[in-house]
């Protein structure tokens, strides 16, 4: 097990070249088996979630290699429609494979997916939508068994704009007979990216980015060489880190529209934000004011994946803040670790009441999930003294070269084997 050793109090200055979006690359990898032709996904970050998804594809019989930062998938010989419980237990995004497997094999067996322990994430929306497309589903021995003679287009209404369910429907409907309409679809930029990826393969998908997506099934899909969008959560993490530490940081590769609400909140904190084309620059004195309220919502609302980082910011700002988590009921599990650093936070159900303190102090803390771990690193960067952040396996799931990028910005951070 590795840990970060961080000396707080250093300003951050420089440019961060953003990695491809984790939440885009994973469904693109799942989509790669929709064709027997070669698929190349450029600039694929070597994060553990990506490596786990690659191993799932290998178990199905595909060949996956990484060359020059690109993922190359050859799935002509893929023949297996079952994913082992070991891999699904490690990766929540393995659930995306249901739609792809059903399209390719008309069969799928998958254990219930895992990932970060941030609360219940039921997949009823996924399963009910697949049933609308003609899939027969049973559950036994801890696995979901899906089968169909053929996939048929249908009208599907989502009660909640689930990103995963929207993506699974797209993957299942793209070669289904007839037309599928998703009403109440998720609007995240990653949905648009999946649409663009599929259309580059010859699919007929329209409407991504709105709450109605239409899919006309096609007979065949071709290979593709594709560059995914940049990671808006990584961008937000570095912008928040600069806000906490003070300094001037620019992210490269992302449009401001994809982080509009975060940028608004950072202005509330007292930061200056400049955005042009795909560059976002933040200037911060490090003397911040609390946000009165942050409430997570589906896109274009405040991202749940930036809630922990925003809480870390407010913990060391002037004033009081209310953080409301609407999507995952146990996503405040990182708060006791922030409290070890002197944070004054009271959690009740899905609400966190934050009373900002003048400055947090160093401590030994444990990263219990991906975004909570990033929040602890941000808190440590702005804290007085030394902090040790243990169990980096969670952080490695979503951030490539996190230490290196922070160090190049001026942070004093080491990665040490425990």
Query: What pLDDT, on the 0 to 100 scale, is given for residue 85?
Result: 76
Residue 325 belongs to domain spanning: 2-19+230-417
Residue 12 lies in a domain: yes
Residue 7 lies in a domain: yes
Report the C-alpha gap between 311 and 318 in whole angstroms: 13
According to DSSP, residue 375 is labeled H
Last residue of a domain, one of 191, 217, 243: 217
Residue 296 sits in the same domain as residue 150: no
Mean confidence (pLDDT) of the chain: 94
Residue 194 sits in the same domain as residue 274: no
Residue 55 sits in the same domain as residue 157: yes
Task: Please pick, among 13, 52, 80, 116, the residue that the annotation labels catalytic.
Answer: 116
**Is 13 an active-site residue?**
no
Q: Are 383 and 8 in contact (CB under 8 A)?
A: yes
Query: What pLDDT, on the 0 to 100 scale, is given for residue 122?
Result: 66
How far is Cα of residue 267 from the mean position of the Cα atoms in its chain? 24
Residue 347 sits in the same domain as residue 289: yes
Query: What pLDDT, on the 0 to 100 scale, is given for residue 119?
Result: 40
Report the C-alpha gap between 272 and 283 in whole angstroms: 5
Residue 209 lies in a domain: yes
Query: What are the residues whose beta carbons fall under 8 Å from the beta carbon of 300, sequence distance 6 or more?
Result: 187, 260, 261
Residue 157 sits in the same domain as residue 253: no
Query: What are the residues whose beta carbons fall under 8 Å from the beta carbon of 357, sequence distance 6 or more?
Result: 315, 316, 342, 343, 344
Give the DSSP per-residue string, 318-352.
BSEEEEE--S-TTTTTTHHHHHHTT-EEEEETTEE
Query: Strand 364-366's sheet: what is its strand order?
Result: 364-366, 386-390, 2-7, 412-417
Query: What pLDDT, on the 0 to 100 scale, is given for residue 110?
Result: 86
Q: What is the pLDDT of residues 146-169, one digit of tens each?
A: 999 999 999 999 999 999 999 999
Residue 222 lies in a domain: no
Q: Which parts of the chain register pLDDT below 70?
A: 89-93, 113-122
Query: What pLDDT, on the 0 to 100 scale, is given for residue 90?
Result: 67
Residue 224 lies in a domain: no
Residue 252 sits in the same domain as residue 121: no
Residue 259 sits in the same domain as residue 394: yes
Residue 181 sits in the same domain as residue 248: no
Residue 141 sits in the same domain as residue 236: no
Residue 28 sits in the same domain as residue 15: no
Domain tally for the chain? 2
Residue 172 sits in the same domain as residue 41: yes
Residue 366 lies in a domain: yes
Number of neighbouring beta carbons within 10 Å of residue 104: 21
Residue 225 lies in a domain: no
Last residue of a domain, one of 217, 245, 274: 217
> What's the whole-model pTM score?
0.95
Q: Give the 3-state secondary structure of residue 410.
A: coil
Query: What pLDDT, on the 0 to 100 scale, is given for residue 393?
Result: 94
What is the dihedral sign for C-alpha 417, 387, 307, 124? Answer: positive
Q: What is the pLDDT of residues 84-133, one digit of tens each?
A: 777 776 666 678 789 999 999 999 998 776 544 434 446 888 999 999 99
CATH of the domain at 298: 3.65.10.10
Residue 223 lies in a domain: no
Last residue of a domain, one of 174, 190, 217: 217
Of 415, 414, 305, 401, nearest to 45 by C-alpha is 401
Query: What pLDDT, on the 0 to 100 scale, is given for residue 117?
Result: 42
Residue 55 sits in the same domain as residue 198: yes
């Amino acid at each position: 097990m590795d840990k970060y050793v961080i000396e707080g109090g250093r300003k951050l200055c420089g440019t961060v070249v953003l990695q491809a979006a984790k939440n885009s690359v994973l469904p693109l990898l799942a989509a790669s088996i929709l064709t027997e032709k070669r698929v190349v996904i450029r600039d694929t970050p070597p994060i553990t979630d990506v490596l786990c998804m690659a191993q799932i594809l290998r178990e199905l019989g595909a060949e996956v290699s990484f060359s020059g930062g690109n993922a190359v998938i050859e799935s002509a010989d893929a023949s297996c429609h079952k994913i082992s419980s070991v891999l699904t237990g490690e990766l929540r995004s393995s659930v995306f494979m249901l739609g792809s497997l059903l399209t390719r094999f008309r069969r799928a067996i998958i254990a219930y997916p895992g990932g970060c322990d941030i609360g219940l994430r039921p997949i009823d929306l996924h399963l009910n939508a697949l049933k609308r497309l003609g899939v027969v589903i049973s559950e036994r021995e801890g696995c979901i068994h899906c089968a169909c003679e053929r996939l048929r287009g249908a009208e599907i209404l989502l009660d909640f704009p689930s990103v995963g369910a929207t993506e699974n429907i797209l993957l299942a409907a793209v070669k289904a007979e007839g037309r599928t309409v998703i009403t109440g679809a998720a609007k995240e930029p990653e949905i648009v990216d999946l649409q663009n990826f599929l259309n580059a393969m010859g699919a007929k998908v329209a409407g991504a980015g709105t709450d109605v997506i239409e899919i006309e099934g096609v007979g065949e899909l071709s290979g593709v060489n594709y560059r995914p969008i940049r990671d808006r959560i990584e961008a937000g993490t570095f912008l928040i880190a600069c806000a906490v530490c003070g300094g001037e940081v620019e992210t490269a590769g992302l449009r401001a529209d994809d982080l509009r609400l975060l940028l608004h909140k950072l202005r509330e904190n007292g930061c200056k934000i400049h955005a042009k084309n795909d560059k976002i620059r933040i200037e911060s004195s490090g003397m911040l004011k609390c946000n009165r309220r942050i409430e997570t919502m589906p896109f274009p609302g405040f991202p749940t994946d930036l809630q922990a980082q925003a809480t870390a910011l407010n913990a060391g700002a002037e004033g009081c803040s209310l953080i409301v988590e609407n999507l995952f009921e146990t996503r405040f599990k990182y708060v006791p670790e922030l409290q070890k650093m002197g944070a004054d936070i009271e959690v009740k159900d899905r609400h966190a009441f934050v009373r900002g303190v003048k400055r947090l102090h160093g401590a030994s803390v444990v990263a219990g999930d991906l975004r909570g771990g990033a929040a602890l690193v941000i808190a440590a960067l702005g804290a007085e003294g030394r902090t040790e952040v243990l169990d980096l396996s969670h952080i490695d799931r979503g951030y490539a070269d996190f230490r290196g990028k922070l160090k190049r910005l001026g942070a004093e951070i080491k990665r040490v084997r425990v």
